[in-house]
């Protein structure tokens, strides 16, 4: 984290707000790192406070492959029902690794702090990150801290990177998909998008929805155990299910037909979409994934997913077709059919 001294045992922190001095590389920055940031993620790999984490060669076993990902988080507001920017950063990075078939191991954390950010807010976000990392079974082992002028960062931006190991023999991707494969989601869609929108107080609506932000790696491992033939997985974040299925269809050169009646949606989310004119298919999620699986393994996979806390509302919502490659369509509740295309623009900006 760009400091070399080890953290002190006693917290002598007195500042209540972030100032530009906390990003200047001197004593104030060292104290911020030692007394606020490092204690939140305390572990042996982080303790040396070098500019990198030195990880023993045992990270990978025989035949395993390394997975590496990075992501940035600029959600507004910083806190929302069911989570905050810290939980979002950990879950988002863990999930990017997990849906690629990897077992997440270690994360980095880079913070851009705005002058004037309350230190208590920073402590709360860091604690939330630590809880999410513990939940996911990963360690935050390195990072960086910068401070920018008031008005330049909307409080706090976070960039995380993650590494994981893909077990030997685990192979997913478009080349694995076959006509007749089933499309499965692990639960209700749109919760995160509506929760963040409600937290912005742009509208005088009370919507009892919480973000679904959660680390999915435990669920994904249960899925591979139940259905070794899993073809392809993606987490349905910005752009929602519509974007993920279009990526599936276009990259794999096959068609996908969705079943509107089968798509799980919470009543409060459905009601909000009807009032506000949002399309559920395009709403953001932070704890949902879409998976393509051979038809013969679908029932066993559904049973395994529904026995996991993050898959209780799992459902088969579509099927792969050889016809109309690259196109996603949806059968409506009333028997019609419409094309589900990529969204032009974004329904809700600054959602993650």
* Count of Cβ atoms closer than 10 Å to residue 331 Cβ: 16
Using CA atoms, how far apart are residues 29 and 18, in angstroms rounded to an integer? 10
Residue 3 has pLDDT above 80, yes or no: no
Residue 344 has pLDDT above 90, yes or no: no
pLDDT tens per residue across span 244-280:
999 999 999 999 999 999 999 999 999 999 988 899 9
Residue 148 has pLDDT above 50, yes or no: yes
Question: How many H helices and E strands in the chain?
Answer: 8, 13
pTM of the entire predicted model: 0.90
pLDDT tens per residue across span 162-190:
999 999 989 999 999 999 999 999 999 99
Q: Domains (ranges, CATH) in the chain?
A: 20-166 (3.30.1330.10), 174-339 (3.90.650.10)
CA angle 330, 333, 315 (to 5 degrees): 70
pLDDT tens per residue across span 286-307:
999 999 999 999 999 999 999 9
| Integer CA distances (angstroms), 35 to 38, 45, 85, in order | 7, 17, 21
Residue of 246, 258, 281, 223 lying closest to 329 (CA atoms):
258
pLDDT tens per residue across span 214-249:
999 999 999 999 999 999 999 999 889 999 999 999
**Averaged pLDDT, 51-62:** 75
Tokens of 312: 């209780």
pLDDT tens per residue across span 5-46:
344 444 577 889 999 889 877 788 888 988 999 999 988 888
Quickly tell me which residue has 């509302």 as its tokens: 313
Secondary structure of residue 2 in the 3-state scheme: coil
| Integer CA distances (angstroms), 337 to 77, 254, 265, 324, 346, in order | 37, 17, 19, 14, 24
Which alpha helices (H) appear in 99-145, and where do they start and end?
A: 119-136
């Amino acid at each position: 984290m760009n400091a070399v001294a080890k953290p002190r045992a006693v917290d002598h922190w007195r500042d209540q707000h972030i100032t530009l001095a906390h990003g200047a590389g001197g004593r104030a920055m060292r104290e911020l790192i030692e007394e606020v940031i490092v204690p939140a993620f305390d572990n042996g790999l982080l303790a040396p406070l070098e500019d990198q984490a030195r990880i023993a060669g045992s990270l990978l076993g025989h035949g395993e492959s390394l997975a590496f990902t990075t992501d940035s988080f600029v959600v507004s507001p910083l806190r929302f029902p069911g989570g905050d920017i810290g939980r979002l950063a950990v879950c988002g990075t863990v999930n990017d690794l997990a849906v690629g078939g990897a077992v997440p191991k270690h994360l980095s954390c880079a913070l851009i702090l705005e002058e004037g950010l309350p230190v208590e807010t920073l402590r709360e976000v860091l604690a939330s990150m630590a809880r999410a990392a513990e939940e996911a079974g990963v360690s935050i082992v390195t990072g960086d801290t910068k401070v920018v002028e008031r008005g330049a960062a909307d409080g706090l931006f976070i960039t995380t990177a993650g590494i994981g190991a893909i077990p030997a023999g685990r192979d997913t991707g478009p080349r694995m998909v076959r006509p007749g494969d089933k499309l499965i989601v692990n639960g209700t869609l749109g919760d995160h998008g509506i929760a963040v929108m409600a937290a912005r107080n742009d509208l005088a609506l009370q919507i009892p929805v919480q973000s679904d932000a959660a680390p999915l790696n435990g669920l994904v491992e249960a899925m591979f155990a139940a259905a070794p033939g899993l073809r392809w997985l993606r987490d349905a974040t910005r752009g929602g299910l519509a974007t993920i299925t279009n990526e599936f269809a276009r990259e794999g050169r096959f068609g996908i037909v969705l079943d509107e009646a089968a798509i799980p949606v919470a009543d409060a989310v459905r009601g909000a979409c009807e009032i506000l004119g949002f399309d559920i298919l395009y709403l953001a999620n932070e704890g949902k994934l879409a998976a393509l699986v051979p038809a013969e393994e679908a029932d066993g996979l559904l049973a395994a997913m529904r026995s996991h806390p993050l898959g209780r509302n799992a459902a088969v919502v579509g099927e792969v077709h050889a016809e109309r490659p690259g196109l996603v369509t949806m059968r409506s509740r009333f028997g019609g059919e419409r094309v589900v295309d990529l969204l032009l623009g974004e329904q809700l900006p600054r959602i993650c």
